[in-house]
Chains A and B, each alone.
Chain A
Amino acid sequence: MNTVEPKSKALQEFAGNLKSLPDRFRESAFRTGAPTTDRTRSTFVFGNVFLHLHAVRTHRWSLRWTTTLGLGIMSVSAFLIALVTGVMLMFYYKPYPEAAYQSIKDIHFVVPTGRLIRNLHRWSANIMVIAVILHMARAFYTAAYRRPREYNWLMGMGLLVLTLGLSFTGYLLPWDQLAYWAITIGANIAQSPREITDALGITEYFDPGGFQRLLLLGSDQVGAEALIRFYLLHVMILPLVLAALMGVHFWRIRKDGGMVRPLDADARLAQRRSEETYPVFTEAPAKTYQLAAIVRGRTAQTGRGPENTVPSMPHLFYAELGVLMLTLLICLALSLVSDAPLKELANPSVPENPAKAPWYFLGLQELVSFSAFMGGIGIPMIVLVGLGLIPYLDRETEGTGRWFGGPGGWPLVRLSMVVGLCAPTVIEAFAIRFGWLREWFPAIPQLVVTVINPATLLTAIYALYSLWCIRRYESVRSGALALFTCFLCGFLVLTIIGTYFRGPNWVFYWSPAEWPKH
């Protein structure tokens, strides 16, 4: 009896260990247990490498849906969907002319669920572009770019440019007619500084345009070299840079104090007290509880508890998950309704007519149809620099965290919408009806057309109107409100004209039904 017992004890222990294996494994992975108390809800966040980008507690103002409209999370969600479906597409896609076209055809018609995955990829990319633009508008109209968030506004602009770059590089990959001619136009826009250097007669010695085009295409025409370069940019370089910038962008949100909120946010929230909010510290702390760096002195948080906050788990995470699911739902619904297009195989000697860029570049294409350099490089650079300077020029505090906050407010935005919509419509109508300088004076030097054309005229009108607003309201923020609203409206009008009212040979038609048959 005695001799057997130790052996069976070990065996019993072994069996017991085996039985409790799932529990032990769960414990080792999730060390702190279910998020049911304040403490475990906190450890749930900061004990997880992916979640600890969030603060453990979230201000109730940030959770109001009108604060952010969920647009930032929607952009990330669309990016994640595009990332997953993109990797799936890479199983079948071959980046070589003709083979590329055939492989997309295979994905569309042969690969099981290939069509759905391609549709999802395309729709999530489109949703991402829309969400990023709207997200920027939200950040602007709630004056969220102000100190200390100026730098994050710049990061956001970088993300906007990368998003557009990712979409555009993806446009070439199917190697159909649409792709081929869009890239031809894109590459020649990169070359358009020649418009200036040619006019000055220095292209022979200084040719940045030609260099940019060569860098993109790797050859003097759109071919296999160009395809592999766009592929590399699309699947490797741009996503990596985007992911890195995204990391900085999210981290800065937390470091800059979370979502922007008005000064009276706490007072306004107090009207609707939630049972979830209660004093976290029962006595005012004498030391900072946010001890990030050990330095002499007091921090702003000393003596105050995290009022009006709720645990991020579950409140914030469930909201974020909700937006992710909503984005997925939208993409899925669109993918089932509308297939991604695939035209004929690229034909270098016959352009598509009309050859249209992706929709978000059609506004630019409209500008480019007056001057390649101004529309394709000059004006976009002015817009980007202008947007980047806004947080550094507007140093006011009135209206931070409020929609359309600042002197002038919503009435000013409304007036700017009228100006922003009318100016491009009138200028376009004039140019379409009466033509422009080249038609009136065929021998006019190109430099004059480059400097004076509908695109620059529109920019000048917007700029002058904004200066007038600064003077009228005695506020830089008012000028920024006017300019940004004009920019969005101009983008809208030009995109609509480019999308719906331009037909073969870029001639104006009231509807595609009037297009000549050929």
Chain B
Amino acid sequence: MTTNAKEPRSRLDPEPVPRRDWLGLSSLWAMGGALLFGLAGMLKLPKAAVLASPSKKFRVAIPENLPVGEAFVPPGRAVAVFKDTDGVYAVSTICTHLGCVVKPNAEGFECPCHGSKFAVNGDVKKGPAPRPLPWLKVTNNGGQLTIDEGTTVPNGTKVA
């Protein structure tokens, strides 16, 4: 549609956007977009593609005469290894409440931070812990046991 300059403009005609307003608005939106884009990039910064942490898999040799129901804790690891007639299993000793390391005792585990108590199989008996202690993946490679702290298995999975 072309408008004849001589004809008076109808009030129904759309108001054309003045050039200055258009320039101002477009630069404003461009700035906003660039800021958002930069912010999105910055938000990715704190999460590295590879997280700095030691290997989760480790080999373990449990004592030959480990009594049934007694926990063996490999030095420096937050894992309790048990052995019974069905086989070997490993229970994580990191409390599911707030991450303290629980201590094995005769009845199960006790958390020093907020008083959660767990049964030997990891079930919550008392306190604020929301979930049972997870069981960890154990692989038996011709007598050589490997525990993977990064992989959980359904509670009750034992390896012969």
Residues of chain A whose beta carbon lies under 8 Å from any beta carbon of chain B: 181, 184-185, 187-189, 192, 195, 198-199, 214-215, 218-221, 223-225, 229, 348-355, 365, 368-372, 435, 438-439, 442, 446, 449-450, 504-507
| Chain A residue, CB-CB nearest to B150 | A220
**Complex Cα gap A52–B123 (Å):** 64
Contact of B100 among A181, A219, A220 (CB under 8 A): A181
Contact of B101 among A192, A198, A350, A365 (CB under 8 A): A350
Contacts of A369 in B (CB 8 A): 114-115, 127-128
**Complex Cα gap A253–B137 (Å):** 61
Contacts of B112 in A (CB 8 A): 351-355, 504-506
* B141 located at the interface, meaning its Cβ lies under 8 Å from any Cβ of chain A in the complex: no
For chain B, the bracket of interface size reads 20 to 34
Contacts A184-B98, A221-B53, A351-B100 given; does A505 touch B46 at CB 8 Å: no
Minimum C-beta distance from A493 to chain B (A):
18
Q: Besides A352-B112, A438-B124, A442-B123, 15 other CB < 8 A contacts?
A: A184-B100, A188-B97, A188-B99, A195-B130, A214-B47, A221-B53, A348-B101, A351-B101, A355-B100, A355-B112, A369-B127, A372-B130, A438-B128, A449-B128, A505-B112
Q: Would you give 20 A-B contacts (Cβ < 8 Å), ordered by A? A: A181-B100, A184-B98, A185-B113, A189-B98, A218-B52, A219-B51, A348-B101, A349-B78, A350-B101, A351-B100, A351-B101, A351-B112, A355-B112, A369-B114, A372-B97, A372-B98, A372-B130, A439-B125, A442-B125, A505-B111
Minimum C-beta distance from B66 to chain A (A):
19
Q: Which of A221, A365, A449 has the most CB of B within 10 A?
A: A221
Q: Which of B47, B51, B128 has the most CB of A within 10 A?
A: B128
Minimum C-beta distance from B10 to chain A (A):
37
**Complex Cα gap A96–B143 (Å):** 39
Residues of B99-135 contacting chain A, CB below 8 A = 99-101, 110-115, 123-128, 130-131
Contacts A355-B113, A505-B112 given; does A185 touch B98 at CB 8 Å: yes
* B77 located at the interface, meaning its Cβ lies under 8 Å from any Cβ of chain A in the complex: yes
Closest 6 CB pairs of A and B: A353-B112, A506-B115, A188-B98, A369-B114, A188-B99, A446-B130
Contacts of B53 in A (CB 8 A): 219-221, 223
* B1 located at the interface, meaning its Cβ lies under 8 Å from any Cβ of chain A in the complex: no
Contacts of A371 in B (CB 8 A): 128, 130
Minimum C-beta distance from A21 to chain B (A):
51
Contacts of B114 in A (CB 8 A): 365, 368-369, 506
Q: Which of B53, B97, B114 has the most CB of A within 10 A?
A: B114
**Complex Cα gap A225–B100 (Å):** 19
**Complex Cα gap A504–B128 (Å):** 16
| Chain A residue, CB-CB nearest to B47 | A214
Contact of A215 among B47, B51, B78, B97 (CB under 8 A): B47
Contacts of A351 in B (CB 8 A): 100-101, 112-113
* B142 located at the interface, meaning its Cβ lies under 8 Å from any Cβ of chain A in the complex: no
- A354 and B128 within 8 A (CB): no
Contact of B124 among A220, A442, A506 (CB under 8 A): A442
- B98 and A438 within 8 A (CB): no
| Chain A residue, CB-CB nearest to B123 | A442
- B128 and A507 within 8 A (CB): no
**Complex Cα gap A229–B101 (Å):** 23
| Chain B residue, CB-CB nearest to A216 | B46
* B48 located at the interface, meaning its Cβ lies under 8 Å from any Cβ of chain A in the complex: yes
Contacts of A199 in B (CB 8 A): 130
* B87 located at the interface, meaning its Cβ lies under 8 Å from any Cβ of chain A in the complex: no
Contacts of B123 in A (CB 8 A): 442
Contact of B52 among A198, A224, A507 (CB under 8 A): A224
Contacts A185-B100, A369-B128, A446-B130 given; does A354 touch B113 at CB 8 Å: yes
* B76 located at the interface, meaning its Cβ lies under 8 Å from any Cβ of chain A in the complex: yes
- A219 and B115 within 8 A (CB): no
- A225 and B52 within 8 A (CB): yes
